[in-house]
């Protein structure tokens, strides 16, 4: 399978922002086309589709893109990271993969920082959603603002986590973005 950047999937998912990508142990997903991907996802229909369409590296490179696979995400699909797939592929297509990759790498860096400093053992999914769905500049500003507040206070770890979570939730609410999984 072509491609060496496992953090951005063939289908447009930001694998590097997925909770399973940041999990240790046997359920860890290596990202699209990463080591062991075929073992973890042996029946990926997108890869089979790519093989039938000239082995494109990303779906947005296919002459049939966007196909039926990229119609609306069902409103009950709890895998919210599907939501920005079309917009992310448009950005990758418009600005080029190198530019998109640089932006995604920065988001992955922010996510790793949040997980290292502000995960209380229950926030990985939340931070993955927030970093995936919020604009890079907003994320940078939010983290900086929270860290300035923390540096000027004597907050304990629990309070620091809560401040980060509430700040990201506030930014999302202002933009009408839900940082919760959807249910049926």
Residue 157, Cβ density class (10 Å: 0-12 exposed, 13-18 middle, ≥19 buried) = exposed
Average pLDDT for 73-95: 75
> Which one is predicted more confidently, 10 or 139?
139
pLDDT of residue 104: 95
Distance CA 155, CA 149 (A): 9
Q: CB neighbours of 157 closer than 8 A, spacing ≥ 6?
A: 120
Triad 22, 26, 27: Cα angle to 5°:
55
Looking at the domain assignment, is residue 96 inside a domain?
yes
Q: Which of 120, 171, 121 is nearest to 143 (CA)?
A: 171
Looking at the domain assignment, is residue 10 inside a domain?
no
The tokens of 117 are what?
């400093």
Looking at the domain assignment, is residue 142 inside a domain?
yes
3: pLDDT strictly greater than 90: no
- Please tell me the least confidently modeled range out of 47-56, 105-114, 134-143: 47-56
> Which one is predicted more confidently, 2 or 161?
161
Looking at the domain assignment, is residue 8 inside a domain?
no
> Which one is predicted more confidently, 47 or 117?
117
What stretches of the chain show up as alpha helix (H) in DSSP?
37-40, 45-52, 85-95, 97-118, 124-133, 136-151, 157-174
117: pLDDT strictly greater than 90: yes
Looking at the domain assignment, is residue 127 inside a domain?
yes
- Please tell me the least confidently modeled range out of 58-62, 118-122, 123-127: 58-62
| Residues spanned by the domain of 131 | 15-174
The CA-atom distances, in angstroms, between 181 and each of 14, 19, 20, 80, 174 are 17, 13, 15, 6, 18
Percent of the chain whose pLDDT exceeds 70: 90
Task: Provide the whole-model pTM.
Answer: 0.88
Secondary structure of 7-31 as H, E, C letters:
CCCCCCCCHHHCCCCCCCCCCCCCC
Looking at the domain assignment, is residue 7 inside a domain?
no
Q: How far apart are the first and last CA of the chain?
A: 35
2 pLDDT tier (thresholds 50, 70, 90)? very low
Number of independent structural domains in the chain = 1
Looking at the domain assignment, is residue 83 inside a domain?
yes
Looking at the domain assignment, is residue 43 inside a domain?
yes
């Amino acid at each position: 399978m072509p491609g060496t950047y496992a953090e951005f999937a063939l289908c447009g998912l930001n694998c590097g922002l997925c909770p399973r990508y940041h999990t240790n142990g046997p359920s860890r997903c290596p990202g699209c086309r990463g080591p062991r991907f075929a073992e973890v996802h042996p029946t990926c229909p997108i890869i089979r589709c790519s093989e039938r369409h000239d082995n494109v590296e990303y779906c947005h490179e296919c002459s049939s893109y966007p196909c039926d696979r990229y119609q609306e995400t069902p409103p009950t699909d709890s895998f919210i990271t599907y939501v920005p797939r079309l917009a992310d592929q448009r950005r990758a297509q418009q600005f080029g993969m190198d530019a998109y990759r640089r932006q995604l790498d920065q988001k992955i860096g922010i996510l790793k920082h949040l997980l290292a400093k502000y995960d209380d053992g229950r926030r990985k999914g939340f931070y993955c959603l927030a970093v995936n769905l919020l604009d890079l500049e907003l994320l940078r500003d939010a983290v900086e603002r929270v860290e300035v507040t923390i540096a000027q206070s004597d907050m304990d770890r629990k309070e620091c986590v809560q401040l980060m979570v509430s700040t990201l939730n506030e930014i999302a609410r202002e933009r009408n973005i839900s940082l919760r999984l959807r249910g049926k």
